[in-house]
Amino acid sequence: LVLVGDKSIPNPEFNQLYNSLEKSIQNKIIILYKIDFKELLLLLRGASLSVYPSIAEGFGIPPLEAAAAGISSICSNTTAMSDFNFFQNRLFNPLDKNDLFEKISFALNHQNNKEIIESVRLKYNWESSASLFLKAIEEKQ
């Protein structure tokens, strides 16, 4: 298990849980802080699954990045990711361990992500963004 993040927001519950784990389990968990984009891309491409368990998020870039890198992804259903139809069968309740387990199992056994990858690549790219930006400018004139 590889966790990637930042220590900018203290999380005493995580620290307490992690510290309560047996050393043999802790040794199977890698925690990385403040990695750069190249390292993140290498991590993503080497992953079997990307799990985005955020309880509250305005717009979750990590699941889109993982999908664009061709990695199977599952996302919390409490974030903006639930608005995307291409993640619908890969959404889970982040407060329900059984739901999370079911979605992890599903995603690991259904690695064909071509539809998700194409949806993300078509909608989120520089050409599309520039076109939308230009259209917004033209509408204001």
Q: Name the domain count of the chain.
A: 2
Same domain, 17 and 51: no
Other Cβ atoms within 10 Å of 97 Cβ, number: 10
- pTM of this prediction? 0.67
pLDDT of residue 102: 94
Q: Which amino acid is located at 88 in the chain?
A: Q
Name the token pair of 1.
């298990």
Host domain of residue 12: 1-34
Check whether residue 92 and residue 69 sit in a common domain: yes
Domain shared by 63 and 130, yes or no? yes
Same domain, 110 and 75: yes
**80 and 28 inside one domain:** no
Nearest Cα residue to 39 out of 74, 81, 2, 76: 2
**Residuewise pLDDT in 10s, the chain (141 residues):** 888 877 787 889 989 999 999 999 999 999 998 888 888 888 888 888 888 888 876 666 788 788 777 788 888 888 777 777 777 788 899 999 999 999 999 888 876 677 777 777 777 777 877 888 888 898 887
Angle between helices 61-68 and 114-123 (to 10 degrees): 120
- So what's the pLDDT on residue 29? 94
Dihedral, CA of residue 17, residue 19, residue 22 and residue 28, to nearest 10: 90
Domain shared by 73 and 112, yes or no: yes
